[in-house]
Structure 1
Amino acid sequence: MMINLNISSAKKADAGILLSMFFTMMLFLGTSLSVMAQNNSSIKGTALMADGQALPFASVALHQEDGTRIKAVLSDSLGTFSIASIPKGKFHVKVSSMGFITHQSEIIQITDVNRMIDLGLILMKEESLSLGSVNIRSQKKIIEQHLDKTIINVENSILSEGNTALELLERAPGVKVDDQGKITLKGRPGVSVMINGKLTYLSPSELSILLKGTNAASISKIEIISNPSSKFDAAGNAGIINILMKKNQMQGLNGSVSVNGGAGRNSRYGSGLNLNYRNKNVNVFGSYNYAYRGETEYLDFTRRFYTNGTAVGNPDRISNQHTKTNEPLNTHNFRMGLDLDLDSTNNLSFVVNGNIGKYLHDSKTTNQLNGFSGNLISDMLTTNYDQQNWKNLTYTAGYLHKFEKKEREFSADADYASNSFTSNLNLDTYNYPVGTSLGQRNVRRGYVPAKTNVYIFKTDYKDQFGTQLGFESGLKSSFINSDNNLVYENLSGNDWIYDVAGSNHFRYKEQIHAGYISLNQKFNTLTIQAGLRGEYTQTVGNQITSNTVFNRNYFQLFPNVNITKPLSENHQLQLAYSKRIERPDYGDLNPFRVFRDPLLYYEGNPNLKPELTQSLMANYVFKEKYTVSLNYSRTKDVITWITGQNDATNTTFESPQNLNRLVNYGLSLTGQTTYFSWWNASNFANVFKNIYNGDSGDGTFDNSRWSYSFNTQNSFKVGSGYSFELNAYFNSKSAYGISTENYYWAVSTAMQKNVLGDKGSLKVLFNDIFQSSQYKTVTRYQNIDMNSHVNVDSRRLILSFSYRFGNQKLQKERKTGGDDILKRVKGGQ
């Protein structure tokens, strides 16, 4: 059987309007070159912290010689800044940021001859205050808010030690992570996760395992990008979360070691080593992190069955299911690389990333089925043993060419990612019918070998015309080949019999070819960034078991517009529009079944279509500390996991389906506050509404709800090398598909003591002190009446030690083309 699906990117009229608007805007920006201000003078530089890391979003102000302030900008995420269109005269530049002493440059004179000034690297000194006999050092910002992104400086947070990348995201402002690893941003599902600016090709469950196995000690910062430019892949309806790993910038030989240990319901521990050698032209680096994460979870499902097919009145039967799991996770993460400056204009880079791990799901499930009057109908005991092993290896080669014109660069990257994944599972069930003492045994085993290969090729070019117009463009192609062979066998007597109905062999191929153009036009008091990305997608899915093949081919355009307007020295306004896509991964498309017990299973859907989202956003920033954001988005064909139920067999299943639409709108507030010189805080509040409506296959429905969330991050620093942190968050009830997710919250704290001449640190972390991070869901729809409660292993105490050694002299970092893209691949099911 052959299924052909051709999906149009938009109606022709809509596409014509979008293209007309875009090219009109491009024409406007292009013709503005002729009327650009003739004064193309500028002052630029790079702000760095004491350890050589970039100081993002520092305030940079241009003052006349008499002290009058005439212009102000912010440094970008790499600490670089540029002040353009400066008149002739004498000036000085002030660079300031919370926790650092304000830096003031020498007097700079702008003349006809001396128009382009480069201040180079500006090393900011950490602020220190003395109160009596107590020395108080200001804490660096942990959370930084900018117009287009939020940055979490993980390496500055003592709450990060002993945690995993996934646990860090749970505490990020506006981010919500459920028990299945599904990530939402400001209430919107469909978040793309990148590592070092490279997309991950992972399903939510696979991504969850990868992030659980990534030690927070290896992470530098996390960027939350709500409105990515056209340079980024169009994937990710709600935005992008970019996890940046640590990169040493010191010259000579240096490194660090770390070790941590503690326990929740089970023990967990880990260690890491980071080494780096850098001289004038060569940088060689490597890191290794090991982590063991013991975890026990308790899951409760209550399902009610009705003979009339509608959840009205009293149920005929009630199923109460309780599961206790033992889920140890062992992971080995390593990274090796070489940066080589061939000369002043050409750079080569080579990086190998590896993630090797083993995950065990060992659970016991009891499932009692009772009549409405309480009489026992059946009693079932299931043992589920699933051992998963995976190996991800990614190889990246990058080339960067810098032209004589400083703003002009060309980069090219090639990536190959190889992944192998195996799952050995055993499902052993005893069913005790009423009135019998001997159980009926049903034993099933499964073997899932999966292989995925990803190939990526990418080029980027950027240039600057005068001081007002920036230009970027690029091409990218990615190829994915996946082979997933699920074999189930049932035990009959002493023989294993192949399960024809349950087994499935699925091969999937995907190609995405993309190109983009982006322009950034600066006017006197206005900046417009506009881009257009085109992506052609071709997919082929082959269900070898059922001899079914489906093809999809579609081309879509993704415009992006961002307008920034400083209203005055303390007020800034930003308006943004974007169109993005979320494609179903092969795990969602593969219709194989994964059983928790014989009465509860999950399966994919080969008929899924990609979902498309259009978003509008408005931001207002006051004094570079307080941000108010309004956002609206509308998603077509939203992919949502829908619960189904067979009342006759007392069976419940979940499958992804396309609903008609999801509408999300809301308001968020972010504030950076210094209560005292020793107490800094970042507070975030979000109010939003999700409106789901569509056809779940059995009928139409509407599910909507107002929701809110709150997050506060507090840093305290006092004398004698002690520092403290306190984080708390709250997520209210929210709508997801046909279900309602209950509220949950958590409070965590940590303390640090600097030792060994401030090169070492001892830290103790107490996570989720009140064990209040509990996931409860209610589903009421047609014949479905279900409650679930997942009690995760979130409360734990961790002790850690880290030490830095070697040369600590700063060397200017070289940006390489290899830093722009690195692909992580799917790990199978």
Structure 2
Amino acid sequence: MPQSLLILLLLAGVSLPGQDILLTGSLVQDGNGEPLGFATAVAYSAADSSMQGNATTEVDGSFTLSLGPGSYYLVFQFLGFDNKVIRGIEIAPTDGAIDVGTVRMTQSGLALETVEVTTERSQMVMKLDKRVFNVGKDLTGAGNTAADILNNVPSVNVDPEGNVSLRGSNGVRILVDGKPSAMLSSGDLDALRRMQGDIIESVEVITNPSARYEAEGEAGIINIILKKNRQRGINGSFGATVGYPDNLGASYSLNYRRDQFNLFSNFGISYRRSPGGGTDRQQFLNDDGSLLARYDSETDQNRGGIGGNFQLGTDWFINDHNQLTGSLLYRQSKDDNIATVTYRDFGESGQLISTTVRDTEEDSDNQNLESSLSYKRTFDGNEDRVWTIDAQYILDDDIELSDISQTTTDRSGPLLQKASNTEYETNLLLQTDYVHPFSDSLKIEGGLRSTFRTIRNAFRVEEADENGTFVVFPQFDDELEYNENIAAAYFIGNGEFGPLGVQVGLRGELSDVTAALLKSEVTNEQKYFNLFPSASVSYRFSELSQFQVSYSRRLSRPFFRLLLPFSNFNNPRNNTVGNPTLRPEYTDSYEAGMLRYLPRGSVLASLYYRYTTGVIERLTLPAADGTTIRFPVNLGDRNAYGVELNVSYDLTEWWKVTSDFNLYTATVEGNYQEIDYAVDITSWNGRAATTLDLSDRLQTQVTFEYDAPQNTPQGRNLASYALDVGASLDVLRGKGTITLSGRDLFNTRISRTVIDQPTYRSESDFQWRQARQVVLSFVYRLNQEKRRTENPDGE
């Protein structure tokens, strides 16, 4: 693409830098002079500390970096050794190759809080406090949505309806670049499908967050990192996607770096449509167990439309110690969703009484605008002393309009209805953090945070009378106003004492939450202050082994749609409604983990226990008129225990395997309306993936995952499994990659549930969207040539 067009896309008008120059040297152990292979060498700009290049040392310790003219400092990192910094590297335009000579590293005497060894081939980096999943290395996720990508991250599951769980628990907080996103925090199950996967760089999974993070999310935090690059000049990537079912898309991720400014932009647009649906058999029983009524339903639907996102931002490196970053992210989607639900009612002896067909056409329009501004200051004499200020403002607008036609064999004419659901949200975040190191092994940090969130949601259902005039249903006509204001402060202390590392923290949050039904004049106000302590102790047995125990207290506020007392009315016999009186869940979380690096891989084993009060559970409640509602309640308490194992290993230089296994058991105690819903739960899930480098250009990947059946307070969720495959081929001298992937090849990722209660029984299977899909994608990298460096630790 011509340079002028790239500059226009990034709104910049400067020229490209000159020819890069090779910087070489050798890395060895101090004392015995043994070479250090597979260490990391990173070059940073002396002006703003931005990364300008990186390389992995060869077996003999040699390394080569390609850099443009300028001033740099080098940082060398290797497991079990202190970081080595070489300053004062000056490169002139007229210089030839530069040899920095022999660099010596000394063994570390400090505890390893987090060990990260990365190369271009990395897929997942495992740390004790979090796991970082590098999206670009997952072949089966190419050209897919954020929901598809999250469902392939170890420990994370996205069910066919779009609900996200972590280690089997649904209380997950989802962030984007460390901040809340209106789309992903409203409880909209389609939000993750609206986000294009092409703009995602990595996903962080934090299972036991410290006091530094907001207390929301009892199961942990999932942080989605968007693409951003700070290499010099113009660089980026362009992508195109075609797939089945209907899947067409295009995207770019561009970056321009010059002097004090770094401009970045992401764009993605796609058209997707996918079938879905399922079946349901429901029986209503008398108190003596005899059949009162029975009907079967079959849903056939097709959902999707066009959507896109655009991000534009800049980093301004004001001087050596001050940096300002601003960005703007806009998303929009327009969907045309159609669904047909067929009901067949049967008598006591099994005879067919009537058939009802309900057709729904829904137009959905969503717009989301997110702006952020961040300031970062470092100080003379200590680059680790940092003060940051962040501000974010979100606007979100969502409209759903439905036309419904229902015909029944015992009715002469069709029943016509209309439903509207409009939602408007504003969200303001203000935050400041400060980190003060007293020495290399002792530091403190603290911060303040305030969020102000307002949501207005209006819902109305109308039905045509015998004259064709639409009349409002009073019981389905109201407006919810939700206000959530939260003020928080935290403090953390970190210390390292030889092989021992200790971190303690305390967070306080003042919550002011109001949910008001404006037409019904019903208001639920909740004001509460909570303290959330956290603690972590790590011990390094050797350079390759580390043990950690941690504790945190968390809460999960009911997300907005759990409070909304209305549903979309597409299936009035099985309505999903909310409960404006819900209160938060509180969880005490304990975890112990052992991380071991092997010669060609790594193993992370974790034990965890969570005690939760005020557990929110969705119950299916039968009504006297032969319908049901799914209604969320604060059911009771839950004790959950689990063990998780993550393994990554290179069997050969061309064959890599990764696996994730989670076994958990839980006891839930609670009742609602004098009915006991206590249940014992034992289940497991696992995922295994194998990657083969068939050549320097061709790579394949196969992934299999399985979710075992488990009990619920009302019945049982049945097992599901899926097989994903993918292959990638590098073309155009490594600047382009073609990827062919197939997700859920046998279309077995289906939600199957059984409800077995004294007066009600149900067996159902459902897919919100068909999980099976085949995607062909192409990516072209501009000034980002793909590297294939090897790593003995399998990272």
Structure 1 stretches lacking a partner, 5+ long: 1-51, 53-60, 81-94, 110-114, 123-137, 811-829
Q: Deviation of residue 570 (structure 1)?
A: 3.5
**Conservation of the 8 A alpha-carbon contact between 2:184 and 2:192:** no
Map Cα deviations across residues 320-376 of structure 1 (whole Å, 9 max, x no partner).
000000101321111000111111111111100111112232100101111232112
1:406 aligns to what SS in structure 2?
strand
Q: Please name the residue that 1:12 is paired with.
A: none
Normalising by the residue count of structure 1, what TM-score does the alignment of the two structures yield? 0.80
- Name the residue aligned to 1:644: 621
Q: Distance in 2 between the 1:439 and 1:205 partners?
A: 41
Say whether the 8 Å CA contact 1:213–1:291 is kept in structure 2. Answer: no
**Which one of the candidate residues 612, 623, 643 is aligned to 2:597?**
623
2:240 is equivalent to residue 253 of structure 1: no
Cα distance in 2 between the residues matched to 1:108 and 1:427: 64
Shift of 1:696: 2.7
Which residue in the other structure is 2:85 paired with? 118
Q: Distance in 1 between matches of 2:144 and 2:447?
A: 37
CA distances 1:196-224 after superposition (whole Å, capped 9, x unpaired): 11123457885432211222221111111
CA–CA separation in structure 1 for the residues paired with 2:88 and 2:608:
37
What is the aligned partner in structure 2 of residue 444 from structure 1?
Answer: 417
Kindly provide the CA deviation profile for residues 745-786 of structure 1, in whole angstroms up to 9, marking residues without a partner as x: 111111111111110111111211222212101112342311
1:470 counterpart residue number? 443
Q: Which of 148, 173, 190 pairs up with 1:209? A: 190
Q: For the residues of structure 1 that align with 2:535 and 2:710, how far apart are their CA atoms?
A: 30
Which of 401, 406, 410 is matched with 2:383 structurally?
406
In structure 2, how many angstroms separate the alpha carbons of the residues matched to 1:79 and 1:189? Answer: 42
Contact 2:455 2:483 survives alignment (8 Å):
yes
Deviation per CA, 1:255-307, whole angstroms, max 9, x where unpaired? Answer: 2211010103xx11111022221012101111210011211012211111012
Q: Distance in 2 between matches of 1:728 and 1:486?
A: 41
Once residues 689 and 526 of structure 1 are traced to their aligned partners in structure 2, the CA distance between those partners, rounded to angstroms, is 32
- Which of the numbers 65, 70, 74 marks the counterpart of 2:31? 65
Q: Could you tell me how far apart the structure 1 residues matched to 2:38 and 2:174 are?
A: 29
Partner residue of 1:269?
Answer: 248
Match of 1:301 in 2: 280
Choose from 736, 743, 752 the match for 1:767: 743
Q: Which moved more, 1:453-462 or 1:736-745?
A: 736-745
Match status 1:432 vs 2:409:
yes
Q: Which of residues 656, 659, 662 is equivalent to 1:686?
A: 662
Contact 2:182 2:427 in 1 (8 A): no
| Aligned partner of 1:143 among 98, 118, 124 | 124
**Residues 282, 808 of structure 1: CA spacing in aligned structure 2 closer, same or farther, 3 A cutoff?**
farther
Q: Compare 800-809 and 466-475 and name the one that shifted more.
A: 800-809
* Structural mapping, 1:532-681, within 5 Å: 532-623=506-597, 625-646=602-623, 648-681=624-657
Match of 2:711 in 1: 735
Alpha-carbon distance between aligned partners in 2 of 1:465 and 1:629, rounded to the nearest angstrom: 32
Q: Distance in 2 between matches of 1:686 and 1:480?
A: 36
| 2:309 match | 333
Rounded to whole Å, the distance in 1 between the matches of 2:559 and 2:205 is 22
- Counterpart in the other structure of 1:459: 432
Q: How far apart in 2 are the matches of 1:202 and 1:100? A: 45
Check if 1:787 corresponds to 2:763.
yes
Q: Structure 2: which 5+ residue stretches go unaligned?
A: 1-19, 21-26, 45-53, 65-73, 77-81, 90-118, 788-795
Going from structure 1 to structure 2, the CA distance change for 1:611 and 1:789 (only over 3 Å counts) comes to same
Q: What amino acid sits opposite 2:596 in the alignment?
A: F
Cα RMSD (Å): 3.0
Superimposed CA distance per residue, residues 402-425 of structure 1 (whole angstroms, 9 cap, x where no aligned partner): 111221111111111111111101
Contact 1:180–1:204 under 8 Å retained in 2: no
Distance 1:202 1:643 in 2: 27
- Which of 771-780 and 332-341 deviates more? 771-780
Change (3 A) 1:103 1:359: farther
Q: CA contact under 8 A between 2:419 and 2:568: conserved in structure 1?
A: no
2: CA distance between counterparts of 1:395 and 1:730?
39
Per the alignment, residue 805 of structure 1 pairs with 782
Q: Aligned partner of 1:803: which letter?
A: Y
Q: What is the alpha-carbon distance in structure 2 between the residues aligned to residue 589 and residue 801 of structure 1? A: 43
- 1:194 maps to what in 2? 175
Q: What is the DSSP-based 3-state SS (H/G/I as helix, E as strand, rest coil) of the residue aligned with 2:562?
A: helix
CA displacement at 1:546 relative to structure 2 = 0.7
- In the alignment, the residues of structure 2 paired with residue 187 and residue 496 of structure 1 have an alpha-carbon distance, to the nearest angstrom, of 45
1:167 match: secondary structure: helix
**Residue 687 of structure 2 is aligned with which of 711, 718, 721?**
711
Cα distance in 2, alignment partners of residues 734 and 462 from structure 1: 44
Distance (Å, rounded) in 2 between the aligned partners of 1:121 and 1:687: 52
How far 1:108 moved relative to its partner? 12
1:75 Cα deviation from its structure 2 partner: 9.4
Rounded Cα–Cα distance in structure 2 between residues aligned with 1:771 and 1:194:
29
Q: Distance in 2 between matches of 1:503 and 1:808?
A: 57
Structure 2: distance between partners of 1:672 and 1:79: 28
Deviates more, 1:719-728 or 1:592-601: 592-601
**Could you state the TM-score of these two structures normalised by the residue count of structure 2?**
0.84
The alignment-based identity, stated in percent, is 25
Q: Secondary structure at the match of 1:658?
A: strand
Higher RCO structure, 1 or 2 (CA under 8 Å, sep 6+): 1
Tell me the alpha carbon deviations over residues 671-706 of structure 1, each in whole angstroms, 9 at most, x when there is no partner.
111111101111111111132221133412212221
User: For the structure 1 residues 292 and 307, does the alpha-carbon distance in structure 2 shift closer, same or farther, using more than 3 Å as the test?
Assistant: same
Counterpart in the other structure of 2:462: 489
- State the one-letter code of the partner of 2:742: F
Farther off after superposition, 143-152 or 609-618 = 143-152
Structure 2 residue identity aligned to 1:118: V
Structure 1 partner of 2:501: 527
Q: Where does residue 673 of structure 2 map in the other structure? A: 697
User: Which shifted more, 778-787 or 626-635?
Assistant: 778-787
Change (3 A) 1:108 1:757: closer
Equivalent residues of 1:750, 1:764 under 8 A apart: yes
Tell me if the contact between 1:96 and 1:102 (Cα under 8 Å) persists in the aligned partners. no
**8 Å contact from structure 2 (residues 40, 55) kept in 1:** no
Aligned partner of 1:369 in structure 2 is 345
How far off is 1:63 after superposition? Answer: 4.3
Cα deviation 1:226-261 (Å, max 9, x = unaligned): 011211111111111111111122211222211010
Residue 315 of structure 1 aligns with which residue? 291
Task: Give the secondary structure class of the aligned counterpart of 1:588.
Answer: helix
In the alignment, is the contact (CA less than 8 A) between 1:277 and 1:283 conserved in 2? yes
Q: How far did residue 188 of structure 1 move?
A: 1.7
Partner-residue secondary structure (3-state), 1:420: strand
Rate the CA distance shift 1:392–1:116 in 2: closer, same or farther, 3 A.
Answer: closer
Aligned-partner SS, 2:190: helix
Instruction: Quickly say closer, same or farther: Cα 1:294–1:644, change in 2 above 3 A.
Output: same
Does structure 1 retain, via aligned residues, the 8 Å contact 2:256–2:264? yes
Return the alpha-carbon distance in structure 2 between the equivalents of residues 223 and 751 of structure 1. Answer: 25
